[in-house]
Structures are given as C-alpha cells and as structure tokens.
C-alpha cells in the first residue's frame, strides 16, 4: 500500500497493511535530535516519513495571553482560549491546566 491508500483505509475503518505513521514531537525533543545528529535543515516529518502531517491554524477566540505568576520553577499564564496553564521553566512537559 502507498501512504495515501493506507491513510484513506484508516479513515474509512478499512483494513490496511499497517497503521499510518503520525507524530508531533515537542520542540525540546526536536532540539535534542539536532544535538544527537539530525541536521537542522531536515524536517522530522520528512525524515521519519510521517503519513499524516498536521498544520496549525489559530482558531482560538484570541484572548490576551499574559503572565499571571512566575516562580523559580514555573510560569503561570493565560492562553488565547481563555485558559490558565502552569508550565515548567526548565523543560518541556504537558502543562498543568
């Protein structure tokens, strides 16, 4: 199967030769890959041959983003969706909502 057939089969709940490949690595992960030898000019989606590639479009209500609190370890900020997140300063992880 070629990628297009594989993705269409998956979307149509049909049998495919394997699951289509898709991922969205964190920026910190891609930075680490570059330090480990992945050339900076190489797109991870192309390198790993992802079959489903996403693009970002800002569909938020565009509320103002602002820092609410900052400690040595965390930054608490609002989001363009009106949410409140707590992020670690020193490393990437899933933010606390």
Q: pLDDT tens digits for 45-75?
A: 999 999 998 878 899 999 999 999 999 999 9
The domains of the chain are located at: 1-55, 62-97
Residue 38: CB atoms within 10 Å: 16
- Among residues 57, 58, 93, the alpha carbon closest in space to that of 75 is found at 93
- 8 A C-beta contact, residue 27 and residue 92: yes
Of residues 17 and 27, the one with the higher pLDDT is: 17
Residue 6: CB atoms within 10 Å: 19
> pTM of the full predicted structure?
0.61
Mean pLDDT estimate for the chain:
92
Residue 27 phi, psi (nearest 5):
-55, -40
């Amino acid at each position: 199967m070629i990628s297009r057939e594989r993705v269409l089969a998956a979307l149509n709940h049909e049998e495919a030769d394997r699951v289509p490949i898709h991922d969205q690595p964190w920026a910190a992960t891609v930075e680490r890959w570059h330090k480990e030898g992945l050339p900076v000019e190489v797109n991870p989606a192309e390198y790993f041959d992802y079959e489903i590639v996403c693009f970002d479009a800002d569909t938020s209500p565009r509320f103002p983003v602002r820092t609410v609190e900052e400690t040595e370890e965390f930054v608490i900020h609002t989001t363009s969706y009106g949410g409140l997140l707590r992020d670690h300063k020193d490393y990437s992880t899933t933010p606390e909502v």
